[in-house]
Structure 1
């Protein structure tokens, strides 16, 4: 089945050669992708979407981007193949982590997040959770699964700081977390917390 690559390229006013240069490939490869002679993988969609000014999912054929038929839940994203990847950067006097604006990449959706709405992945920054989570590890996140003791969690504070820690417990007044390096227990006032999400998988970089 042909994808929407050719129509999007023409709408952008790009030649095969121009799109190939922007994506770091050859015009022959672009032509094969447009004709459906080569499979449009997630890696190709991520490479081609920026010069076309679209999201990677916009390259899929109409039949794959249409809303799923009943009885599939209507709220699930139409494209089940990829999830956004987030990252955080250190900043400020305390070298805290702050989430970067928007996705920095897209990656394959793991089976554990197959039908999870708003699922995402996030890169680990810093050594505070080593050796469990080392810098560059990619964590798969289910924003709706309640954490259990010893689960990894991503905590978003109201001041936009981001923490990746181990869950201990949550009470009505505080969130208790464990850090590995240096080893310590953190107690955060619930009024400081915007939300926290559960880590359900890990991928080494």
Structure 2
């Protein structure tokens, strides 16, 4: 018996054509490898309910989970992000297998993206950068040659359902334009070492202001351009995967 129907968590997001295609691709690759959802869950350090939601199209996997799943199933991560299955070995040899062990590692980008340390912000800030590098994370294939990129973990729930607490974001690339999601770092206020930082959706830029949108609770915020230290674009999943 497959585990899909037995594990479906509450709070799943609405299905989209892409999430359905990606879910079907994960399910197809998993079955061809002779695996059950529990194996993917254990590899990704998540629960079976989450994998069930991916396979049924209720949720798209986060970028890091998509990369981990592709590595575990030995499929091309760019193709998997499009809802396609491209095996990185001779798939015919595993079509009828029960269990695949000692899988060869997926050719992947280097672990050279800085993961910046951050602390939970106060009532009016999503977080603050602590000025330290917390570690290094894998470079996704779509940004193999992109310079000045960094990663951070989402700490607040102000952008749910787009970004969940604990999700890892990659930031950098071209300048942000209206419609992009952005990370905004403010200059420190008096007697503060680090300025507040926010993850929002850019609505409009003027000479004096930056207008952004927040999802949870829904509202529009305005920032003084002269109080802003940096604005970085959040790199979307499609771009990280190379399409």
The TM-score with structure 2 as length reference comes to: 0.47
> What is residue 137 of structure 1 aligned with on the other side?
167
* Runs of 5+ unmatched residues, structure 1: 1-78
Provide the rounded CA distance (Å) in 2 between the counterparts of 1:139 and 1:178: 18
- Tell me which of 206, 214, 217 is aligned to 1:182: 217
Superposed, 1:46-85 pairs within 5 Å as 81-85=111-115
Task: Report the structure, 1 or 2, having the larger strand content.
Answer: 1
Provide the rounded CA distance (Å) in 1 between the counterparts of 2:212 and 2:186: 13
Write the deviation string for residues 69-118 of structure 1: whole angstroms up to 9, x where unpaired. Answer: xxxxxxxxxx9652011242124564652112221111111123222222
Number of residue pairs aligned between Structure 1 and Structure 2: 124
Alignment partner of 1:151 is 2:180:
yes
- Aligned-residue CA RMSD (Å): 2.1
> What is residue 74 of structure 1 aligned with on the other side?
none
> What is residue 113 of structure 1 aligned with on the other side?
143
Task: Give how far 1:149 is off.
Answer: 2.3
Task: Give how far 1:185 is off.
Answer: 0.4
User: Does the 8 Å CA contact 1:112/1:200 hold for their aligned counterparts?
Assistant: no
Instruction: Name the SS for the 2:176 alignment partner.
Output: coil
* Runs of 5+ unmatched residues, structure 2: 1-108, 189-194
Deviates more, 1:186-195 or 1:112-121: 112-121
Provide the rounded CA distance (Å) in 2 between the counterparts of 1:92 and 1:126: 10
> What is residue 162 of structure 1 aligned with on the other side?
197
Provide the rounded CA distance (Å) in 2 between the counterparts of 1:96 and 1:125: 7
Provide the rounded CA distance (Å) in 1 between the counterparts of 2:122 and 2:169: 24
- Tell me which of 206, 218, 241 is aligned to 1:171: 206
> What is residue 126 of structure 1 aligned with on the other side?
156
Provide the rounded CA distance (Å) in 1 between the counterparts of 2:180 and 2:168: 15
User: Does the 8 Å CA contact 1:88/1:162 hold for their aligned counterparts?
Assistant: no
Instruction: Name the SS for the 1:89 alignment partner.
Output: strand
Instruction: Name the SS for the 1:150 alignment partner.
Output: coil
Write the deviation string for residues 109-136 of structure 1: whole angstroms up to 9, x where unpaired. Answer: 1123222222111110110000000001
